[in-house]
Structure 1
């Protein structure tokens, strides 16, 4: 039972870590090489990683018309971002300016170095792209950014988790444990009564 408990905790921790990794903002320093729109097929395998159709994405007969931003890292490795409004759905970025962001990306295309703030993963085999949230010019490819917001969010979540655990322990100590003790005591009394009954 103890092993099952630790397996469950490990799986839960892994799910939470993956959810945070996907949802929290990430920052890439890249050069923008191309800005374009493309009809993209969104299937059951990757639909969870795209915005809902009512979040500003135009529908086409064979897919969606989605904005994309192609970029390259300092070592030449390519990166492609989608540029979709998130609306009021998860994750809670409340992004409604994808058209403006596309214009910003177009104006910064070329030899300029920019920091692209995004969430999500790039998984080529499933045609999954991270969603760009903000773009701003930086001094060069060596520019570094410290993720203060991520640390604050993680600290708040840890504080909430510890608070919930403390409340549960207090509830168990005051309500659950006494109730369990009463049930066990009643069971012991019942067993004792049956023993005495059958001894006669």
Structure 2
């Protein structure tokens, strides 16, 4: 049972970590090299794209016209973002300005000779094998490639989650101390009393059986010494 609990705890921890890593906002300092629209096929990876109720329309072939932002990081590694509205359901970024964001990103395009560095806030993962892109939320110009704005939204969310988990832990401990532990003690005491009564009953039965056996043996012994007629 111990190993089952440990395994379940590890699986739950990994799931929570992946969920937070995907959903929480992240900030990257990059240089925008290109912005464009592309018909993108949405298939098994649809969970990593915006839902249909955000205004994005798919054609009969399952293709969607999606805006993309191509960037280069200070390490010269390229990175691509998608630019879609999120709607009101999930994730709760309430983004409806993808057109404005596309215009801002286009206005901040630059090359390596005269770079313009920006900080892009986004959520999600970049997995090239499955054509998965993080969704850009906002773009803001920064002073240079070493300028990394503080990711205070993610920090605030993590702090609130930590406080919530602490409160839930305290409530569970109080509930356990006031309800579960006393009930468990009463149940244990009842089981102990039942065991004691069962042991006492077994002792009485064993004693009565012993007395009956001794009485029967004594009665048999009275017949051993009698002479025959």
Q: TM-score range by the shorter chain?
A: over 0.9
Deviations 1:67-119 (A, max 9, x none): 11111112321111011111112221010111111111111112422111101
Deviations 1:119-142 (A, max 9, x none): 111000011000000011111212
Q: Distance in 1 between matches of 2:75 and 2:34?
A: 17
Contact 1:24 / 1:119 at 8 angstroms: preserved in 2? Answer: yes
Residue pairs, 1:93-172, within 5 angstroms: 93-110=93-110, 111-172=115-176
Q: Distance in 2 between matches of 1:162 and 1:11?
A: 20
Q: Distance in 2 between matches of 1:53 and 1:65?
A: 12
Which secondary structure state, in structure 2, belongs to the residue aligned with residue 136 of structure 1? strand
Q: Distance in 2 between matches of 1:131 and 1:54?
A: 17
Contact 1:58 / 1:66 at 8 angstroms: preserved in 2? Answer: no
Task: Answer yes or no: is 1:12 the counterpart of 2:12.
Answer: yes
Rg larger in structure? 2
Residue pairs, 1:69-84, within 5 angstroms: 69-84=69-84
Contact 2:27 / 2:122 at 8 angstroms: preserved in 1? Answer: yes
Aligned to 2:21: 21
Which secondary structure state, in structure 2, belongs to the residue aligned with residue 102 of structure 1? helix
Contact 1:115 / 1:135 at 8 angstroms: preserved in 2? Answer: yes
CA RMSD, Structure 1 to Structure 2 (Å): 1.5
Which secondary structure state, in structure 2, belongs to the residue aligned with residue 54 of structure 1? helix
Q: Where in structure 1 are there 5+ consecutive unaligned residues?
A: none
Quote how far apart the aligned CAs of 1:50 are: 0.9
Contact 2:70 / 2:78 at 8 angstroms: preserved in 1? Answer: yes
Q: Distance in 1 between matches of 2:155 and 2:127?
A: 25
Deviations 1:124-177 (A, max 9, x none): 001100000001111121212122222222111111111111110110010011
Deviating more after overlay: 89-98 vs 144-153: 144-153
Q: How many residues get paired? A: 199
Which secondary structure state, in structure 1, belongs to the residue aligned with residue 58 of structure 2? strand
